[in-house]
Structure 1
């Protein structure tokens, strides 16, 4: 998948360097089922050339992965995606995207190490692929927000219907998202930052 400034280059580019004014860096993770748009979100929001580990899907993989509803998908993330966005002059987010197929979920342990929170990206045409993802986050105690990605012909549900379908507690934010646009993807990350900021400290819980 092509993103701006994604051409091959040797060594770090000037645009890749961390701003001198940055004082705080936070790690967040983008999770979701297979084919919900995680790589697209990381690529659209990143201010540096995104790192992707996409490989062409083979017939052998198609026999393992559930491609129902995403039959046109031709590549898949096999390790992680990585990007960076400066929220302001001082705060920088390191954004890691996880692989969606269950057979690669063993990589989650490393990707979640040191992460402050997560975004669960969902496809309203295939909500069922998000159930176990959300369950794993809840088991880990990782705070998260849910972003409903916009796909052609994807149904739109009222927030409370979506909350009930995903069995989410009332305090978990649900936001709309178009992972193809930088502004929308940035707003999702800002929603996560606001949610994390409003969480009570461990001593206050």
Structure 2
């Protein structure tokens, strides 16, 4: 579909798509920017800045030593589902010094994806706590890095103390289809909650 054109309803009335806002959250280096970039139909907006010596002692790069940049405000991408629905993705910054931005980013979001990195699993606790406190529906997507240890779903659920109704998915944030499946899982979860 040409996203620049609006579809026409009978009698010449344009279809105005419903805008659906989704957050992509998680710890530093979990793959948020990568996921947004993998699925966005537009060139994603990123606010990546280089890590510098000023962050030594502040930025914990244990487990992600090759990481050289960090999101300092947000990532933004868009996916047109059809003439009636457009998903807007907002990736949150992963470091606690940028969390003051989260409340603004979360306004109007129908739900969130919490990306988890099993090499640094505790880093996604703040995201889970945030969405639980706000009552925002979310899924947890374990980003399967090449050098990470594989754990069973039960082990990850126990480690994160996840409620049974919260979907736990596996993904590769670099892969468009895998990332799309996570977003579909979130939308299905939100729809299930609204119907119950």
Do they fold alike, i.e. is TM over 0.5? yes
Asked if 1:27 corresponds to 2:21, the answer is: yes
Give the direction of change, closer, same or farther, for the CA distance of 1:93–1:157 in structure 2 (3 Å limit). Answer: same
CA contact (8 A) 2:139 2:185 kept: yes
2:43 equivalent in structure 1: 49
1:64 equivalent in structure 2: 58
2:116 equivalent in structure 1: 122
Matches within 5 A, 1:84-103: 84-103=78-97
Higher strand share: 2
Offset at residue 126 of structure 1 (A):
1.0
Asked if 1:79 corresponds to 2:69, the answer is: no
Give the direction of change, closer, same or farther, for the CA distance of 1:162–1:97 in structure 2 (3 Å limit). Answer: same
- Structure 1: 4+ residue segments shifted above 3 A: 15-22
CA contact (8 A) 2:141 2:169 kept: yes
Q: How many residues align?
A: 188
Encode CA deviations 1:158-199: one digit per residue, 9 max, x unaligned.
112111110000000011110001111111000000000000
CA contact (8 A) 1:16 1:49 kept: no
Give the direction of change, closer, same or farther, for the CA distance of 1:18–1:180 in structure 2 (3 Å limit). Answer: farther
Aligned to 2:169, what secondary structure does the other structure show?
Answer: strand
> How many angstroms apart in 1 are the aligned matches of 2:73 and 2:188?
28
> How many angstroms apart in 2 are the aligned matches of 1:48 and 1:58?
29
**Structure 1 regions of 5+ residues with no counterpart?**
1-14
CA contact (8 A) 2:3 2:80 kept: no
Asked if 1:166 corresponds to 2:160, the answer is: yes
Aligned to 2:73, what secondary structure does the other structure show?
Answer: coil
1:185 equivalent among 176, 179, 184:
179
> How many angstroms apart in 1 are the aligned matches of 2:145 and 2:132?
26
CA contact (8 A) 1:81 1:96 kept: yes
